[in-house]
């Protein structure tokens, strides 16, 4: 099957050829004809299977086939794509621009964390396709800088993630402002009961496409677990990165503060790293992702904000420095690798207090995850009370709330030496710091060669 056989117009086929895409993915092959026929659609596919092109290509064709409503001083917004995160909004809008290269339709992305004024100006100039996060879109609605009364097509992308992030009330507010007569497309990685309820309220006699097993992980991903104490996790991470030569990786922690600390320590130990999470400004997040994609940064340390939507070509590794307490989030995290026909590897560093999370993940995957023993790795000796070098204090240590002003262990650490190999500490943090000093709050359970044909995301 080719894109031409799906009934796409010449301009879209030309844009696809320019991008090197020739073969549609299963979700694209099934969804595109249905959308072109005007059906509402409930589509489910695991991450990395090309959902974005699955709705963007037919959306552009349908808009180009109809004449916008007459009247008014500017072009009306005719299609609205809602996404859960800023990064996903930016990437979807980039895809829209790529595929609309030879068409007259234009697009803009609006999301929080950046100045709203340029967005207002872009909307004033007239926009056909609006890609937005719910919160920032409601800001524009409140300021009356956007008119949604002429929307012809509504897309909810990563709908399950939007519900997980608490956007259901915002979505309902936005839907109440849209024309009753419109085409609705709901794309999701999973079909939970909540998603089915939303689909019942939003979709009109929808067609359904599901190309992956429920909550399935990519078959191109190899899974492995390294059992470790919490005190030895960081040393084990350095061993994998240096001695076992694990390459570029997206590394997950549970908390924002934990992401900052891991990234800081890696940099001090000579491994290029940068954190990405909700407390960083949008310019910081954009630069971090761009540097990681370009290869300027080896390790992107992220919270689960990065588990959905990030499209990183041929990412070889995902590392779970901490397992998520929700097993479905494991599938979303590892979905960043093993994409578009390229194999990937998911490595998890698991301490005893995370074993229940591991068993829940294995139950979801319906298979055990291989346990590996690192080669030639000697764990650091555990000294009684010496927890300042650990990524987390032992449970009996007092907890210091975030923002209390306590010093992080890495602040006064000696500068990185010119030695090409990172130095080893006895654990996480500054090896010269006194035991018991400068601890921040622990992350508790429940906290937050020949290449295959390229396929569009």
The answer to whether 4-210 and 221-365 have equal CATH topology is: yes
**Residue 217, pLDDT score:** 54
Assigned CATH class of 221-365? alpha beta
**Residue 344, pLDDT score:** 84
CA distance 451 to 322: 32
**Residue 453, pLDDT score:** 53
Q: Which residues make Cβ contacts (< 8 Å) with residue 169, sequence separation at least 6?
A: none
Domain residue spans of the chain: 4-210, 221-365
Angle 101-107-108 (CA atoms, 0-180°, nearest 5)?
135
Instruction: Count CB neighbours of 278 within 10 A.
Output: 13
Question: Which of the listed CATH numbers 3.10.20.30, 3.40.640.10, 3.40.50.300, 1.10.150.120 matches domain 4-210?
Answer: 3.40.50.300
Q: Residues in the chain with pLDDT < 70?
A: 46-48, 67-73, 212-218, 306-311, 313, 338-341, 380-457
Per-residue tokens: 54: 């699955």
* Model pLDDT for residues 165-207, shown as the tens digit of each residue: 789 999 999 999 999 999 999 998 777 788 888 888 899 999 9
CA distance 219 to 334: 11
* Residue count (the chain): 457
454: β partners: 21
**Residue 406, pLDDT score:** 35
Per-residue tokens: 98: 């790529």
């Amino acid at each position: 099957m080719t894109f031409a056989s799906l009934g796409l117009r010449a301009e879209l086929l030309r844009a696809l050829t320019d991008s090197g895409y020739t073969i549609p993915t299963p979700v694209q092959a099934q969804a595109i004809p249905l959308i072109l026929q005007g059906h509402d659609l409930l589509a489910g596919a695991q991450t990395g299977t090309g959902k974005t092109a699955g709705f963007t290509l037919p959306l552009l064709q349908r808009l180009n086939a109809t004449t916008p409503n007459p009247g008014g001083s500017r072009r009306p917004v005719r299609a609205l794509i809602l996404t859960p995160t800023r990064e996903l909004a930016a990437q979807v809008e980039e895809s829209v621009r790529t595929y609309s290269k030879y068409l007259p339709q234009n697009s803009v992305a609006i999301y929080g964390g950046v100045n709203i004024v340029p967005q207002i100006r872009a909307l004033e100039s007239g926009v056909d396709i609006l890609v937005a996060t719910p919160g920032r879109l409601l800001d524009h609605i409140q300021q009356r800088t956007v008119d949604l009364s002429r929307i012809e097509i509504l897309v909810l992308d990563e709908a399950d993630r939007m519900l997980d992030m608490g956007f259901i009330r915002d979505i309902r507010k936005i839907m109440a402002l849209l024309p009753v007569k419109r085409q609705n497309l709901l794309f999701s990685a999973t079909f939970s009961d909540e998603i089915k309820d939303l689909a019942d309220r939003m979709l009109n006699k929808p067609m359904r496409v599901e190309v992956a097993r429920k909550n399935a992980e990519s078959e191109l991903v190899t899974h492995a677990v390294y059992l470790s104490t919490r005190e030895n996790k960081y040393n084990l991470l350095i061993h994998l990165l240096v001695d076992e030569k694990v390459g570029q990786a997206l590394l997950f922690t549970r908390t924002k503060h934990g992401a900052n600390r891991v990234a800081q320590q890696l940099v001090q130990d000579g491994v290029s790293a940068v954190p990405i999470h909700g407390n960083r400004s949008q310019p910081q997040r954009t630069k971090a992702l761009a540097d990681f994609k370009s290869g300027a940064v080896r390790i992107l340390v992220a919270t689960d904000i990065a588990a959905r939507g990030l499209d990183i070509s041929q990412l070889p590794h995902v590392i779970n420095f901490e397992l998520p307490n929700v097993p479905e989030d494991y599938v979303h995290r590892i979905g960043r690798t093993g994409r578009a026909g390229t194999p990937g590897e998911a490595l998890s560093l698991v301490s005893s207090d995370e074993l229940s999370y591991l068993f829940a993940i294995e139950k979801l995957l319906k298979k055990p995850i291989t346990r590996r023993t690192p080669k030639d790795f000697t764990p650091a000796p555990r000294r009684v009370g010496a927890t300042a070098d650990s990524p987390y204090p032992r449970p009996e240590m007092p907890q210091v709330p975030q923002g209390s002003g306590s010093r992080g262990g890495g602040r006064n650490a000696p500068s990185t030496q010119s030695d090409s190999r990172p130095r080893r500490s006895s654990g996480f943090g500054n090896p010269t710091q006194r035991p018991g000093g400068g601890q921040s709050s622990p992350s508790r359970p429940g906290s937050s060669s020949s290449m295959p044909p390229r396929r569009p995301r």
